[in-house]
Amino acid sequence: MEAKNNWMKARIAPAEIEKYLRADGTDFVDDAEILRLLAPAGEPEAAQVREIVAKAQAVQALSQAELATLMRVRDPELWAEMRAAAGAIKRKVYDNRIVTFAPLYLSSKCVNDCAYCGLRRSNPAVERRVLTMDEVRAETEALAGQLGHKRLIVVYGEHPESDVDYIAESIRTVYSVKVQTRKGIGQIRRVNVNAAPLRVDELKILHGCGLGTFQVFQETYDRRAYARLHPAGTIKSDFRWRLTAMHRAQEAGIDDNGIGALYGLSDWRFELLGQQAHALEMERFCGIGPHTLSFPRLEPAVNTPFLENPEWRVSDDDFERIVTLARLAVPYAGLIVTARESPEMRRRLLPLGVTQMDAASNVGVGAYADGQEKQKGERQQFILGDPRGLDECIREWAAAGCITSFCTAGYRCGRTGKCIMDLLRSGAEGKFCKLNAILTFKEWLDDFATPETQAVGEALLQKELDEVRRTQPKIWPAFSANVARIVAGERDLYF
């Protein structure tokens, strides 16, 4: 117990908060300014709205004031234009690709007591477990070998048993797994992490392990709500330790970072403006905005009374607004909508600029290797809304004209951080990524798809190949040779 208390006391390094504050001791979330921006009620002028949307279409992040103006739009026609622009921006920056991944929960022990979370320490209804490295290996084999995933987000509770050494060892273990598939070798090629905020020295360790994106959600940018939901005395109760997590990540050399708010904890309009302040602060601090924005929305969890009737629950219509506005507000960022959302909701959000969706997800600790198909509340943090398998999701996305990308080539060629942001803004990354997306899609179809999905996927693939032949004639000979090599059984080819 004493060791645990000492560990908790040493978690927060005050000097690693203070150095990122302004000269007057304030942080970048200016509550009074956000409330001032939210105060006007009237409909904005259509011309002003169109001017702001044009800025987004030029792939420039919006100011908080511009975003607040878009939030005031009520006119259905203007909203239709904004939705269309959101979809167009996504196609311009990311083309018709959807990147897919799976969450992998490695530990459910946690010293914090967040009111909304099934894993909070005061919840006796959840079984606690920290996977051994053999178990991590078994989970990875199931994800890479049976399902064909190439990217994971590994998730941890905050606890001395899942400290930075554990996180580092588990990342290395995931990367080390190679498993035979129908035609080739299944392997995870990018491990992203969602964990509690860490110190710079700890983040350097993770950077050295080949960590992909480092993701920390602020949960709520509203400090009063934050204080109510995260009991004083817990590590998580320190709002600014969390708010500066990405500054430290950048300082440690991790330049792909993911931010988000847990929608439903406070007024969504405040959250979205807080999230925008965060994105702009990241641009200001290091010239690189967020790599991804996430939109977790509150889901039910076992024995968690807070979730029964949360005051700020976000409706489906408002959630659609949030995703549209975020697409316009940070046009270059990846937008992640997870399987927390129902299939129907994910279908609604797909055309609005979503770039990443997980599939075949299971958030139970140890659940993939157990072949656990049904969700078990007592094993997990919350209950998912979309339990569908990867094959079914990929078939649906392909039928909607989206190619599922398993590509990780950009990262392996050093296209991260500022480099990838510049390429995304200019539209050049889309070209590389499209070619690699096609190659990895073909690999996955050959190795994992059911005949039904193969038929839908191959029809889309044919269209894509025709487009490359037509639009990129110089690249076509080398590219089509790679496609032929994949058909012949070679794997992991990329541009």
Number of residues that bind ligand SF4 (CB under 6 A): 10
Which of the residues 152 through 191 are near ligand SF4 (CB under 6 A)?
157-158
Enter the tokens of residue 373: 């198909």
Residue 47's nearest CA partner among 84, 71, 73 is: 73
Residue type at 365 in one-letter notation: V
Strand partners of residue 185: 180
Residue 441 to residue 407: CA distance in whole angstroms: 8
Which CB atom, from 191 or from 435, has the smaller least distance to ligand SAM?
Answer: 191
Give, rounded to a whole angstrom, the gap between the first and last alpha carbons of the chain.
Answer: 52
Contact between 363 and ligand SF4 per CB under 6 A: no
Which residues touch 209 (CB under 8 Å, ≥6 apart)? 168, 171, 172, 175
Q: How far is CA 250 from CA 67, 179, 212, 332, in A?
A: 26, 33, 13, 18
Which CB atom, from 56 or from 339, has the smaller least distance to ligand SF4?
Answer: 339
CB of 382 to ligand SAM, least distance (A): 4
CB of 367 to ligand SF4, least distance (A): 16
CB of 408 to ligand SF4, least distance (A): 27
Q: H or E stretch including 180?
A: strand 179-180
Residues that bind ligand SAM (CB under 6 A): 110, 116-117, 155-158, 194-196, 216-217, 219, 262, 296, 298-299, 301, 307, 340, 381-382
Q: Which does 193 bind (CB under 5 to 8 A by kind): ligand SAM, ligand SF4, none?
A: none
Give percent helix, percent strand, percent coil of the chain, each to the nearest 5. 50, 10, 40
Three-state DSSP at 196 gives coil
CB of 113 to ligand SAM, least distance (A): 11
On whether the CB atoms of residues 142 and 368 are closer than 8 A, the answer is yes
On whether the CB atoms of residues 366 and 108 are closer than 8 A, the answer is no
Which CB atom, from 150 or from 230, has the smaller least distance to ligand SF4?
Answer: 230
Q: Which does 301 bind (CB under 5 to 8 A by kind): ligand SAM, ligand SF4, none?
A: ligand SAM
Three-state DSSP at 215 gives strand
Which CB atom, from 189 or from 242, has the smaller least distance to ligand SAM?
Answer: 242
On whether the CB atoms of residues 204 and 198 are closer than 8 A, the answer is no
Q: Which does 120 bind (CB under 5 to 8 A by kind): ligand SAM, ligand SF4, none?
A: ligand SF4
Contact between 398 and ligand SF4 per CB under 6 A: no
Question: Applying CB under 6 A, which part among 51-59, 116-124, 321-329, 437-445 lies near ligand SF4?
Answer: 116-124
Which CB atom, from 299 or from 391, has the smaller least distance to ligand SAM?
Answer: 299
Which of the residues 96 through 115 are near ligand SF4 (CB under 6 A)?
110, 112, 114
Which CB atom, from 156 or from 479, has the smaller least distance to ligand SAM?
Answer: 156
Which of the residues 457 through 486 are near ligand SF4 (CB under 6 A)?
none
CB of 402 to ligand SAM, least distance (A): 25
C-alpha 20 chain-centroid distance? 24
Enter the tokens of residue 150: 């190439």
Which CB atom, from 96 or from 123, has the smaller least distance to ligand SF4?
Answer: 123
Binding site for ligand SF4 (CB under 6 A): 110, 112, 114, 117, 119-120, 157-158, 196, 236
